[in-house]
A and B are shown apart, each in its own frame.
Chain A
């Protein structure tokens, strides 16, 4: 599955003189007991875990493991406590759907900073071969041989 990078208009700067920011984001369907919703998720090879907004968990009826809290941190070092849960994730592209069950971390919406959802190693990238083409501005995600989910074709 190939996805085009998302393009955002930003203030022009030395790094982005044309005022265009490209990000490897993919439309991710998050499925729970009560329904599903689609988030534009940043594919981040530097993220150890997969992060979703807490309000998504509420909206879809995602399971929460109250006993499984953990701490995460980014640049700057500020740590936040997050809860874990299991949801079904799905990527859809050109008539194909990849679906798998993943353990994810739910972060408070106000902590989501500049990315609403992040696909990191645990829960996502561990199951894929990912190719980032910054020149063509697209990302290809192919399921690895041990992909734990299913591939459906229309």
Chain B
């Protein structure tokens, strides 16, 4: 009898212990999940010029994967979202639609982001196993960063825009730097695509040039994108192959406020 009682007591103790462990495990998992969701962007070692980085970019986002309708690739005036050739997966990313709430990321963090080995100058369909999975969390980020316009110009015809020759079917490349007067070798390229340019007629090269010459602080919002096609330009005309592409919003600092470029008057005129 006494033995049976001890056995029953032992079994009950075991059940209680298992329950406690389960509860603690669930609580720990919940806490870890909460902490991970708060993590924003983790910078990695900066790659040397012209070389890929062995550092692994990693990021988590509370935004999670782009939900339907948010950041979905969108065509423009007959040109499908994957363009007319080239790296179609890359083209789809370049033609993403508006996103949700942007994540503020310091300019230097963007510049310091690394990327997996074996992706540069290689079509995404031929990336090494696991590379896309390491890049994808970052590319799901709608980022917003502050900086200065170093230069802006109209790009050439390219597959993402179905090789449209007309100026309105091409991108603007905007070189963003961390401080006025900084060379483009330390820049992050932000691209204004035809679809967004059509919605923002005041986004012009001339206007961006004025901002550059005036050394005005700007805030750029857009999708983070690894444009793997031009690593050879690092240290020449760009500081990284990470881009903000497409740009979804562009603001100018006016006093203590951020004003959309569409409604921002020239600062010099405002001072008069």
A complexed with B:
no
- Residues of B whose CB lies within 8 Å of any CB of A are none
